[in-house]
Amino acid sequence: MAVEAHTAYEASKLARERYAEYYANHHDMNVAGLRFFSVYQGFAGNEEHKGEYANTVAQFADAIARGEAPELFGDGTQTRDFTHVEDVARACELAADHELTGVYNVGTQEAYSFNEMVDLINDALGTDIDPEYVECPFDGYVHDTMADYSAFHDATGWEPQIGFEEGVQRVCRPYLEDAPEMN
């Protein structure tokens, strides 16, 4: 589909891809732009320093593990293609190994709602904490995302290996190990 920039963030990403295209075309370089979809990993140790800018899976798992309600924009039906960081790391290695040039999506081709994410976290932690629904504080919020990684698969054979349910279990596991009373 045609790519449009509606926010400064989107414009910066599009500009990066155009610069890469320029270098590939005019300096005989292999430059691949990988579009990562909602990359996540655990909070403690890797995302904690980002605070409110950490990935939502890590933020919500941390909040729920502490007995707090995560805040969801709108009604929580917005969806994301959540991609585990280990799958992203493998994608980067393959892009380099195959000396790719071009722009490729890296995601799972599956979308989960934020409500479903909260349910999975509650299931993994053995908790029952409802989210707090709040109004989105800014314009340009994207309601749904989902990658089509077929071009990247065709070029490298890459497929995601960590499903979202397993990924949520991995994110939640340290909370269960650190707090035996939650078992």
> How far is residue 175's CA from residue 124's CA, in Å, rounded to a whole number?
10
DSSP state of 180: G
Q: 141 near 80, Cβ under 8 Å?
A: no
- Residues assigned a catalytic role: 9, 50
Three-class secondary structure of residue 33 per DSSP: strand
Taking each helix axis as running N to C, give the angle between helix 114-125 and helix 56-65, from 0 to 180 degrees, rounded to the nearest 10.
40
Beta bridge partners of 103: 33
Residue 42 CB contacts under 8 Å (≥ 6 apart), including other chains: 58, 61, 170, 171, 174
| Backbone phi and psi for residue 80, each to the nearest 5 degrees, phi listed first | -140, 155
> How far is residue 178's CA from residue 143's CA, in Å, rounded to a whole number?
35
